Each structure stands twice: as C-alpha cells, then as structure tokens.
Structure 1
C-alpha cells in the first residue's frame, strides 16, 4: 500500500460516528486532517483524540462547516489550501436521515435531506476536483443503508 503519511484529507461530518472513526483511524497513518462539521466543540474533542493517536496538533485543522452552505464550502477549501497547500482526499461523510413515514414527510423535510445527502457531496466534490486531479487524489462518498429500506 502507498504511504498515507502527510496526505491531506478532508472529512465532513467528522464530529461523530463514521466521520469521527475515520479521523481516528487516519490519524494513525500520520496524515494531515481537516475535520469539518457544524459542531465546533465536538470537532475540537475529535482533534484531541487524534492527537492521542500520535498525530501532531499541527496536522489537524478544525473547520466549522455547514455543508449545505456554499460559502462554508468555499471557506473549507480556502483554509485547507492556505494551511496545507493541497488536497489529496475528500471523505464526504456528512449526512442526515428521516425517520418518519413517507406520508409524514413534508416537502421541506425531503428538500433538507436532499440538500445534505445529495447536493452537498456533489458541490464539495466539484470544488475539490481541480485540486484532487493535481494530486491524483480520491473522493470517498459515505452513504446509509437506509436508502435500501422500503
């Protein structure tokens, strides 16, 4: 396997769950991590956890980011590039679910789910693509098994 050392990896939804677990695993590979989510307090806690895995504080950037807001996505890219100079991987992990029955789901709820689960990963991937092409990087899209339930 190619070394991951010093690869620059953006993870959305990094404040909990799969995003947090991904960050903690990647920290053991000595990457440069950008932890993005809406909850800055939780992101700071995850950053500290990454440091307990051996990743130096200089290799972790915490960015409060709401992935449905274009300005937040632009800021995420700008901060990543100004801090680390490149992007090697994007993990689109931020997501939201709807636990209501179809007849209880309003158009507004559906639109919100589509915004975060479909539009946001596309928009961030599109913004990262030119930088990922330069580094021959990768995009990982995390989804839910919920989409397979009737």
Structure 2
C-alpha cells in the first residue's frame, strides 16, 4: 500500500508513534523515525526492519522537536537521504495534569511548543516536498481537542489549536493536492500520563475509571490508533481532508459521568 513512499513520523520512540512506525512498515513504507530516546528509537527501528517484507532500514533522527535546528535537520536529512517525502505524521506530544490554579507559564509554554509550535514549523518546512508528491499530513490530536476536561487545561488548549491548524492547512493545500487530517485518540495505553505529573498509583486508578467513562467500556490500544493513521494517509481516504477522526471508544460523544 505504501511501497515506494516515504513516511516521516515524529515521536516514534514509544506509544502511538512506535506502533504507527510498525504499521507503516507492515505496509511497505520507507520510514523516517524521530524521537529523543536513542535506545528506544533503535529498538523500534529494528522491530520495523524485522516485520517489513522488503527489510528496509528506517532513517533514524534523534531530535527534540522544540528545538528549531533539530526540526530543520529532520527535513534536511530526510530529503538528502530519500529525495522526497510523501506522508508527515505529526505525532510527538506531551501532557501534564495542571489546572488554571496550579499551572505555570513554563508548563504552558512547554506544552504549546511541543504540541503546536513544533508541528507548525515542521509542516511549514515539509509542505513544498509534500506538494511535489501530492502527499498528505496526519496530525495526532486528542479527544481533549474536541471536548473540555478538567485538570488538563494546557493540553486541551494545545490539541484544540492543533485541530484548527489541521482544518486551516487542509483548506490552504487542497488545491495543490495535499490532504491534511487529524486523528483524535481517547485514552490509550501508552504511558504518556506518567510522563506528566500523574503518579503511578493515580494512573492505575485512572485506568480502572476508564472502564466506566468510555461507552465501549475499556481503554484503547495503540494499534487501534495507528491503523486509523495509516488509513487517513492511504489512497482509501483520498476524498478526506480537514477532518478530525475520533478513536476514543465513544468518549467524545458521551455526556460526563
């Protein structure tokens, strides 16, 4: 399905990003994997090489997407190596449990830089190459971009901004043959919450609570998101652009419980 196509995935060293890398590997894509954790990125890359039918070695780029030079290097290295880019998956993101009473400007800036500014800049740089290939972009947003939740203020703001970014860029690039969509996961077993300010005990309690707040009665798995990302990036979604597709067990459609 993606044979001969180059797919760039940010935040590919863990969680949804890692599973998305494996998904595209199974579908024959040539991969550019970025992340901050070198050891994890190496592990994901090796896994992708093993499960791919034609055994291509992914291009690995250690990068902090908050760093402008790192973002510039991602695109420069990709084009130098592959001479083209077909799909950009803006997956890297962070979350933190903060309220308007407990947040700081530093936390707000950190989340906005990672979840909004970085994909904004990476998309800016990637766009000329995507236009040449009539490629597409998939932004990994969140149910928090569609619905309001307490205790994750900056995260929800950032994902709402990413969804609007998706729609605006989709309109700007539609006439040039480039599609832009977002996938909006609900709670997925990735450990992202533990990277914020939530303790392991609180996280385990939250996983139990997820059984009652999701209409499907369970938390999601990374592969349930990666398969949707691959769909949106494929020719099967050739008439879809500017959309935010929820993968959240029905949570965005439900009333608070």
TM-score by structure 2 length?
A: 0.55
Matched pairs, number: 148
1:107 aligns with 105
SS across alignment from 1:140: strand
Q: Which residue of 2 aligns with 1:136?
A: 134
Q: Which residue of 2 aligns with 1:73?
A: 71
SS at match of 1:102: coil
CA drift at 1:57: 5.5
Aligned mate of 2:24, from 1, 4, 26: 26
Residue 115 of structure 2, aligned match among 102, 114, 117: 117
* Higher RCO (CA-CA < 8 Å; seq separation 6+): 1
Aligned to 1:87: 85
> In structure 1, how many angstroms separate the alpha carbons of the residues matched to 2:78 and 2:56?
13
5+ unaligned residues in a row in structure 2: which ranges? 151-257
Question: Does the CA contact (< 8 Å) of 2:45 and 2:57 recur in 1?
Answer: no
Structure 1 length as normaliser, TM-score? Answer: 0.93
* Counterparts of residues 46-65 of structure 1 (less than 5 Å): 46-54=44-52, 58-65=56-63
Structure 1 residue 4: Cα displacement? 1.1
* 8 Å Cα contact 2:49/2:56 also seen in 1: no
Residue 15 (1) aligns with residue 13 (2): yes
Q: Give 1:28 shift.
A: 0.5
What is the RMSD computed on CA atoms of the aligned residues?
1.3
Bigger radius of gyration: 2
Alpha-carbon displacement from aligned partner over 1:95-135 (angstroms, at most 9, x marks no partner): 01111222111011001100000111110000000000000
Q: What residue number does 1:42 align with?
A: 40
Query: Whole-Å Cα distance in 1 between the matches of residues 9 and 94 of structure 2?
Result: 15
Q: Is the 8 A contact 1:67 1:116 kept in 2?
A: yes
Deviations 1:2-26 (A, max 9, x none): x310210100000111101100000
